[in-house]
Amino acid sequence: MPPDPRTWEGRIPHPTTPRAVRNAESSGSIPSSMPQVVTRFAPSPTGRLHIGGARTALFNWAYARRHGGKFVLRIEDTDQRRSSDAATRGILRSLAWMGIGWDYGPAYTAPDGRTLGGQQPSVGSYYQSERLDEYDRRLRGLIEQGLAYPAFESPEELEAKRQAAIAAKTGYKYDRSALDIPLEQRIARMDAGESHVVRFRMPDGPVTVHDRVLGDVTVQPEELDDFIIRKRDGFPTYHFAVVVDDAAMGVTHVLRGQEHLINTPRHVALQRALGFETPVYAHMPLIFNPDGSKMSKRDKDKTAKAAVKAAGLDAPPVGSIDPAGFAEWLEDKTRQMDTDHLAELAAALKIDLPEIDAEDFQAAGYLASTLVNFLALLGWNPKTKNPDGTDLERFDADYLAAHFDFDGLGKTASKFDRQKLLAFSGDDLTAMDDGAFADAWRGWAERFDPELAERFSAADMRLLAPAVKPRCKTLRDGRSVIGFALVGDDAVEFDGKAVHKVLIKGDRKGLETLRELKPIIAAIEPFTPETVEVAVGVYADSSGLGMGKVAQPLRVAVTGTSVSPPLGQTLAILGRDRVLARIDRCIASVEAQAAEVSP
């Protein structure tokens, strides 16, 4: 049941599913023992944590840490239609994954048992949908002072006026026609339950925002109209809720994306009207795709549509997608498939969707620490040199928490360069010790590649780590590095070119080498990367062939290709029996092929 829209008091609590934190009696007062710095991240739970939001959260977190302050997480769920608890949970999980811990906000227990969030006394809920009483109390004060007023135009009426303004090529601005109705009449109609919105009476003077990144930005009164602060459904709009809550929660510094810059004069005007102090504002540059477009979930849809069309599919390849809806989706460029179904579709088509949300990067096999490092460099720079004279670029969250400041923030939008992220990722993985890598790889596989996790035990993965780690840019790459071990010995596919080059070419010397190696391999004891390497090396020397002429035939015989981890590791991963079986099968296969060509 939606809140009663007829009055601004006596609100019936918004029905919600059980939440981690219940609303306590909120006094709306600012806590007396307030820390010096309070920052916040205030996502709207309408989807997953976007990469831009992740950076905003990261910087706010870092700023609070840097100054020994508090970092607050608040859920801005005033859009009843689009908000969901599932989205909230996903956002909390992504933040926790990235190591962005909040001091106050929804309580959350991370997989490692760490508890985040919790309630600060006398602040109340960190879900805006549970703070309606507070908004209404503030709103009532504004109306009584004549700083806000009910307005009764229908959305249709306003839309018509807006269209007319567009047609006339002038900017649209609310015309204050509600003020033509006498005040007592407006109050009476509102109290009588007539459907209405509440608008803020914008003051006449210009408003200047002192931004820590961009400097002073002044907006003239002509540009600011009487915006809506309470919607027809009784919920506050973003502008109102954000101002009330930031004050109630003692927020001192607001660090957010530049798309909010133009909102800030409204917020400042509201703060003045409500008697609040204006926090310090810092607006960060935006993050874009390499082509300059906005990084948005639409990119995933676009990629999927293109792949489906390229594959010539006219029916969904997975059962969970409704065929009729699929056809419509395919035809209609503006139609978006939801994120989960897109992921299934991509898996079926064996394509990668562009990473947009924090969770996408996790699924793609990036370490949280890598993403944090890379993200921190998008729009911020430590302006510090390494001892060797190069710029400091590689650092961890602790460094950020110790050094982040507004001075390092840039003004220009940056493009998200996946190549550079990939380079960072590869370096970070290489820098791990084998055990840590194996653990990370295992943890990733358990959640994102269950087949791999089932096929290899944790012990197996520790054994594989030395071979896999140096060849991975991401944890997901591990699978392709040891792909040869994932196929059955009877299912190895021999690459024709490789076979020809190393086994057949030169009077089939390679094949001969293979035969001679069999008894040597059969005799290696124990069968480890080192002993294999030594035994094969000895043969390479004694035969006078050299390692190149010996290793490649073996490599092709056991993997089917000329590319694999170092030979000792490759053979040891398979084990002696599987190696011998594969050598036999390879020899047989090449001989059969030769017989066909020249009977």
Partner RNA sequence: GGCCCCAUCGUCUAGUCUGGUCCAGGACGUCAGGUUUUCAUCCUGAAAACACGGGUUCGAAUCCCGUUGGGGUCACCA
Name the residues annotated as catalytic.
297
Task: Restricting to residues 308-347, name those near RNA by CB under 7 A.
Answer: none
What's the one-letter identity of residue 310? A
Least Å from the CB of residue 420 to RNA: 4
CB-nearer residue toward RNA: 41 or 61: 41
**Would you count residue 215 as binding RNA (CB under 7 A)?**
yes
49 secondary structure, DSSP code: -
Angle at 157 between CA 153 and CA 163, to 5 degrees: 140
Task: Restricting to residues 564-583, name those near RNA by CB under 7 A.
Answer: 564-568
CB-nearer residue toward RNA: 112 or 216: 216
**Alpha-carbon span 317 to 204, nearest angstrom:** 59
Pair 298, 325: CB distance under 8 Å: no
**Would you count residue 194 as binding RNA (CB under 7 A)?**
no
Q: Which of 258, 262, 232 is nearest to 78 (CA)?
A: 232
CB-nearer residue toward RNA: 31 or 260: 260
Angle at 244 between CA 243 and CA 250, to 5 degrees: 90
**Would you count residue 231 as binding RNA (CB under 7 A)?**
yes
Angle in degrees, 0-180, between the axes of helices 576-597 and 567-574, rounded to the nearest 10 = 100
Task: Restricting to residues 521-550, name those near RNA by CB under 7 A.
Answer: 533, 547-548
Task: Restricting to residues 238-297, name those near RNA by CB under 7 A.
Answer: 238-239, 258-263, 285-286, 288, 290, 292-294
Angle in degrees, 0-180, between the axes of helices 339-349 and 298-311, rounded to the nearest 10 = 30
Q: Which of 289, 270, 288, 286 is nearest to 278 (CA)?
A: 270
Task: Restricting to residues 430-469, name those near RNA by CB under 7 A.
Answer: 430
Per-residue contact string for residues 94-123; x = within reach of RNA by CB under 7 A? ------------------------------
**Alpha-carbon span 500 to 506, nearest angstrom:** 9
Residue range at the interface with RNA (CB under 7 A); choices 222-230, 318-326, 327-335, 445-453: 222-230
Least Å from the CB of residue 330 to RNA: 26
**Alpha-carbon span 201 to 273, nearest angstrom:** 9
Kindly determine how many residues on this chain lie close enough to bind RNA according to the rule CB under 7 A.
85
CB-nearer residue toward RNA: 67 or 415: 415
Q: Which of residues 7, 381, 531, 589 is near RNA by CB under 7 A?
A: 381
CB-nearer residue toward RNA: 85 or 393: 393
Tokens (6 digits) for 40: 């916040």
Task: Restricting to residues 39-58, name those near RNA by CB under 7 A.
Answer: 42-44, 46
CB-nearer residue toward RNA: 119 or 425: 425
CB-nearer residue toward RNA: 73 or 308: 73
Least Å from the CB of residue 274 to RNA: 18
**Would you count residue 383 as binding RNA (CB under 7 A)?**
yes
**Would you count residue 84 as binding RNA (CB under 7 A)?**
no
Task: Restricting to residues 483-522, name those near RNA by CB under 7 A.
Answer: none
Long-range contacts of 379-384 (CB under 8 A, 24+ apart): 379/55, 379/284, 379/285, 379/287, 379/409, 379/410, 379/414, 380/59, 380/404, 380/408, 380/409, 380/410, 381/408, 381/410, 382/408, 383/407, 383/408
